[in-house]
Structure 1
Amino acid sequence: MIVELRQYTLRPGRRDDLVELFDREFVESQEALGMRVLGQFRDLDHPDRFVWLRGFPDMAVRLRGLREFYGGPVWKEHGPAANDTMLDSDDVLLLKEIVPLPPRADREPAALTATVWFRDRPFDAEFTAWFAARAAGAVAVLATEYAVNDFPALPVREGEHAFVWFARHEETVEVPARFGVTGTDRLHLLATVRSAFR
């Protein structure tokens, strides 16, 4: 599966407005077009950040789904209100699953930690095997998808190599210097009521 990790910086105090609108209008309307809304989250460290995950079986479905959604009636009606909450929506990593995201779960909203590692080259099978032997708490693992973004109206970060893993609790894994990790982001996330991935 192809996955977008989307981090939006919002206008101060507008996050709950976007969460309510998103959960009400943008879940079923995207899934009806072949996309999967995998998870929506409040960033616990940044009160004006909204994080969400959107999945596609492949890049062809992504292109078709994005064209139909952003050119369709739901976005035409509700897109301006969503955009009005946002300062920036271009912080997007295009990823592929290594360990699949869990199926939809009907439970109370839960806290998750997402760790994002960056380095100056792709994360290869050697790194993945090393990680798998140490991060028993990982519930989903993704890495950069290198396909060309063929829907340029929605930019993605390019020229970066990312490895992303989600855990249900705070877990730290120290990466040996030989793997050349150049940066780490850690996101503390609280799932919204409608979030599939908790």
Structure 2
Amino acid sequence: MNECCAVADLRQYTLHPGQRDTLIELFDTYFVEGQEATGMHIAGQFRDLDDPDRFVWIRGFRDLPARAEALNSFYYGPVWRAHAAAANATMIDSDNALLLKPVRLGPGYPALDAPRTHVTGQPIIAGAVYHRGAADDGFVEYFTDHVAPVLTGTGAAPVAVFESLVAENNFPQLPLRDEVVLTWFARFPGVSAYDEHRRQLAASRIWNQQVLPELVCRSVKPMQELRLSPTARSQFR
């Protein structure tokens, strides 16, 4: 397992209209190295392609104690102090956050030393968040045995699968959503590859007659689909 990511935060920020690029410039310029200097791993930061005012990002930690230490160091440290006002001015809401642990991180998930250089093309990171009833509901096993094979067969092999880490928030200054989820992410070289996956999925009899109805039954509310464009300095791309 990637040593950085026994614990992860998935964060989705709702921003004031037109402010996303402002936050991304601040984030990519100051907050990547600023956070990683305290022991975090900033694995990915993205524009939500279906919401022009949403910024999504993932950061990892070695374990829960390391999370508390790193967050205290960053949010009471000089980098955040210098740029907090400008960053907060872009945001309507920053409380849409989930505390996660990995079910599986494939070789396509960025390691600590993965490059942050620009790559050719416009890759898409896509996935979903499933809202579950309980941590012992068998959802992980169902996803692994039945959902992932269909996704893989239609061109969306999951690169990363996370589920909720049911634990007390050890940095309560940043609220977390109190729910149990499973979320997955897959990489596509571009929009056309993603669209082809969606076409194949829509045509899949197994997906539509067996897997999707079971997912709906096992979920407490509709899933959230994610279609994300990595920023220029995102490792996950």
Taking structure 2 as the reference length, what is the TM-score of the superposition?
A: 0.78
> Paired residue for 2:61?
56
Unaligned runs of 5+ in 1: none
Whether the 8 Å contact between 1:175 and 1:181 is mirrored in structure 2 is no
> Paired residue for 1:163?
182
Whole-Å separation in 2 of the counterparts to 1:99 and 1:196 = 18
Whole-Å separation in 2 of the counterparts to 1:184 and 1:128 = 14
* Number of corresponding residues: 197
Whole-Å separation in 2 of the counterparts to 1:154 and 1:54 = 14
Report which stretch shifted further, 68-77 or 101-110.
101-110
Q: CA deviation at 1:175?
A: 3.5
Deviations 1:146-169 (A, max 9, x none): 1110111000001x1111011124
Q: CA deviation at 1:184?
A: 0.6
Alignment of 1:49-198 (within 5 A): 49-100=54-105, 102-103=109-110, 104-105=114-115, 106=117, 107-108=119-120, 109-122=122-135, 124=138, 125-130=140-145, 131-136=147-152, 137-158=157-178, 160-169=179-188, 170=194, 171=197, 172=201, 174-177=211-214, 180-182=218-220, 183-198=222-237
> Paired residue for 1:22?
27
What SS does the corresponding residue of 2:39 show, helix, strand or coil? coil
Identity %: 45
What SS does the corresponding residue of 2:70 show, helix, strand or coil? helix
> Paired residue for 2:3?
none
Whole-Å separation in 2 of the counterparts to 1:112 and 1:164 = 13
Whether the 8 Å contact between 1:7 and 1:92 is mirrored in structure 2 is yes
Moved over 6 A (4+): none
Unaligned runs of 5+ in 2: 1-5, 189-193, 202-206
Larger Rg: 2
Report which stretch shifted further, 98-107 or 12-21.
98-107
Taking structure 1 as the reference length, what is the TM-score of the superposition?
A: 0.92
Whether the 8 Å contact between 1:116 and 1:165 is mirrored in structure 2 is yes
What SS does the corresponding residue of 1:95 show, helix, strand or coil? strand
